[in-house]
Each structure stands twice: as structure tokens, then as C-alpha cells.
Amino acid sequence: MYEKPEKHPKVGKAELEYIQQDIIADSKIVGYVPETTEKVSFIKCFKYNQTWAFAFGKFMTDGVWWFFLFWTPAYLSSVYGMESTDAALPLFVLYMITLLSIVGGWLPTYFVEKKE
């Protein structure tokens, strides 16, 4: 289903050049530092603005998300009288959404880094 463009059998030479044109353009910029595979320590990450932007976004949205996940069963029970044994399908869907939210962070990385 997914292959990197360099390895995909249906990607032609012209299409591959079009996909990689930004990489070539970036390498001509003064002060360009090519991507490395060097590991960065957890503490060192806090020196980057991107880390703080991500942390701020998580701080602003996770409260709402986890409130929804934890209080939806109580809401369904109090307003609609649905107990966990009565409402198997809605609660199953809720728990599947919870599971997919956890797995969802890992899944794209799996497909992008997939190697043969």
C-alpha cells in the first residue's frame, strides 16, 4: 500500500524529481544543514520553539479530549439511563476511539518508516 517514493514501482523519474525538488532547493540555501539521524536528548528538545509549540497545543486540547473520554459514559448513564451493560455498542465505540487515539500516534510513523 505504501512505499517511499524512491522505492515505489509506479513513481517515474520525472515525478520523483518533482517530489524531491524542495530537498534540492533547500540544499542551495546558505547555512543549510542536512538532516541527520543523530539522537537528541529529551532535555535538549526544550531549546527548540517547535517543542514549546507542541506542548502548548497538547496542553490546550488534551483537557477537552480526556474530559470527553472519561465523562461520556457517566453522561450517557445519567441523561439517557444507559449503563455499561445496556449500551454495549456506544461504549464499545467510545473505547475503540480511545484505543485508536493512543495507537494513532504510532501508526503514521510505522507506515512512513516501513522498510522491506
Express each pLDDT in 17-60 by its tens digit: 888 887 766 666 666 666 777 888 889 989 989 999 999 999 99
Query: Do 41 and 35 form a contact (C-beta atoms < 8 A)?
Result: no
Percentage of the residues of the chain whose pLDDT score is greater than 70: 80
Q: What pTM value is reported for the model?
A: 0.42
Does position 114 have pLDDT exceeding 80, yes or no? no
Three state DSSP letters for 3-22: CCCCCCCCCCHHHHHHHCHH
Q: How far apart are CA 57 and CA 52, in angstroms?
A: 9
Average pLDDT over residues 64-85: 78
Q: What letter represents residue 18's amino acid?
A: Y
Residue 67's pLDDT band (boundaries 50, 70, 90)? confident
Structural domain boundaries in the chain? 40-112
Average pLDDT over residues 72-78: 78
